[in-house]
Structure 1
């Protein structure tokens, strides 16, 4: 009787064992910092200087991710109301200090106006010199008229941009507070139950409703006036559409856990593109 002996080459056999071990290893994600049972959530931020518009984007959503005022991005790219953008369009993101209103850094509009004014001054220097005396006589009256109009405009602007009433978007315990740190929480997180009502914190218009912003899940952004926006993230169901007008306290979504690991509402308020602490505006409990 002949016994056959099968022998594996030593080196290939060891390599096979190592490969099998690697395949059976449990690949777990990196640990996430938690506060109690609630995980710390991170949100995708736009850091590039040029952004190519994708399907589902709005100018307001892009500005939100970039941490810029939508008016600044519009002015920087010469986009006029109603701020229509197109898939594939490349938008330049203005530097942080850019200000379309002309205060601080010089805006594109003001640069163009300055060039026009310089040309006009050069072409009409002689004509202006001939009217110097006349302007001096009229100056006191003009100054008085300008002061009255400036005061009137200032009062109108304050009244237009003032939000008389902010309301809590939902009920529940605050599990994450606002932080001014670079990677800190840009709003507050409120714990709750799935399908719990989420309501508009003030009157306004829905300028974004979707799930294209990484980390926010199903998100709603409401424009309240030229200065203030608010956002409601991680919803299970969106109950309003873009361009829809909403009233303070109106039901806009149902709470959920999209884009995160637990049921919560992430709520933000931004003033001219900058994150502010919502607790400064919401009624004290």
Structure 2
């Protein structure tokens, strides 16, 4: 009886273990975890995000660079409208008008200015606003207050004085301009584009300063630091000339001048000694004046 009882008890335990509900739970949980739904579709949106957003920014950069480069100028620290005009070969008043400036003295670093005439609208008639300077006669100043922002003390002569032998004119084959020396003194300092941007011509206080070629005065005043009393003459679309450190200015802005006409008196304003600082600029870039002036 005892071995039979033990065998029956073992069989009952084995049967109870097989039918226990605790062994069915892992099967149901694995079935629940392995259901496909939510996990497979989650990565799709993340993969599509970069393709939509990134390429938009670089596309505008070339257009903006081209806009700034095409007849525009970005204001830098220390800039004035007069200096910008000198460096771009334009009349500062034109730059103010083209850029729509209400106050030409209030420039901001990073501001974009137009330094070339705006293109006419399609189909619009193009007119010449200003006659060529060579065809117009020079006008004398009515009084000493005539020079804008300058220190004019006398009226400009109605006819240019006779040129000295050392100031005989030479003609620029590229633009048809006839150039002459603006003063008869010795050259004190030669051209250096990085430092002087022109030549220094010696003389005595009050010596005549002459227009080096026909043109129109685009600036006469003392508003450009380092130049003292300054006259800038625009000769054509390519060239302008600058006459600095004068003691007196004899012309005013927008006045037509002829080659050899007295436009100022030599001085030492904003300089260590009496001298004429003379520049010729081609499209705003300083060039060696001795390349254009006749040999002495």
TM-score by length of 1: 0.52
Q: Residues 114-193 of structure 1 correspond to what in structure 2 (within 5 A)?
A: 162-181=175-194, 184-193=195-204
Distance 2:185 2:250 in 1: 20
Q: Which residue pairs with 1:49 in the alignment?
A: 76
Q: Which residue pairs with 1:33 in the alignment?
A: none
Q: Which residue pairs with 1:70 in the alignment?
A: 90
2:252 to 241, 245, 255: 241
State the Cα distance separating 1:52 from its structure 2 match.
Answer: 7.8
Distance 2:251 2:102 in 1: 21
Distance 1:225 1:70 in 2: 10
Distance 1:73 1:218 in 2: 18
Q: Which residue pairs with 1:207 in the alignment?
A: 218
Distance 2:179 2:101 in 1: 29
The CA deviation string for residues 211-256 of structure 1, in whole angstroms up to 9 with x for no partner, is 1111111000001011111000000110111111000000000000
Q: Which residue pairs with 1:90 in the alignment?
A: 107
Residue 290 of structure 2 aligns to a residue in which SS?
helix
Gaps of 5+ in 2: 1-73, 123-171
Distance 2:93 2:256 in 1: 23
For the 8 Å contact 1:163–1:202, the answer to whether it is kept is no
Gaps of 5+ in 1: 1-46, 54-58, 102-107, 114-158
For the 8 Å contact 1:187–1:276, the answer to whether it is kept is yes
State the Cα distance separating 1:179 from its structure 2 match.
Answer: 1.0
State the Cα distance separating 1:261 from its structure 2 match.
Answer: 1.1
Residue 178 of structure 2 aligns to a residue in which SS?
coil
Residue 90 of structure 1 aligns to a residue in which SS?
coil
Distance 1:191 1:229 in 2: 21
Larger radius of gyration between Structure 1 and Structure 2: 2
Shift in alpha-carbon separation, 1:227–1:94, aligned structure 2, 3 A = farther
Matched residue count: 174
The CA deviation string for residues 118-175 of structure 1, in whole angstroms up to 9 with x for no partner, is xxxxxxxxxxxxxxxxxxxxxxxxxxxxxxxxxxxxxxxxx99723310100011111
Q: Which residue pairs with 2:98 in the alignment?
A: 79
CA-based RMSD of the aligned residues comes to 3.9
Distance 1:251 1:84 in 2: 33
Distance 2:277 2:200 in 1: 4
Distance 1:84 1:229 in 2: 23
Distance 1:78 1:109 in 2: 14
For the 8 Å contact 1:51–1:90, the answer to whether it is kept is no
Residue 70 of structure 1 aligns to a residue in which SS?
coil
For the 8 Å contact 2:187–2:201, the answer to whether it is kept is yes
For the 8 Å contact 2:179–2:293, the answer to whether it is kept is yes
Q: Which residue pairs with 1:30 in the alignment?
A: none
Distance 1:267 1:50 in 2: 25
For the 8 Å contact 1:73–1:94, the answer to whether it is kept is no
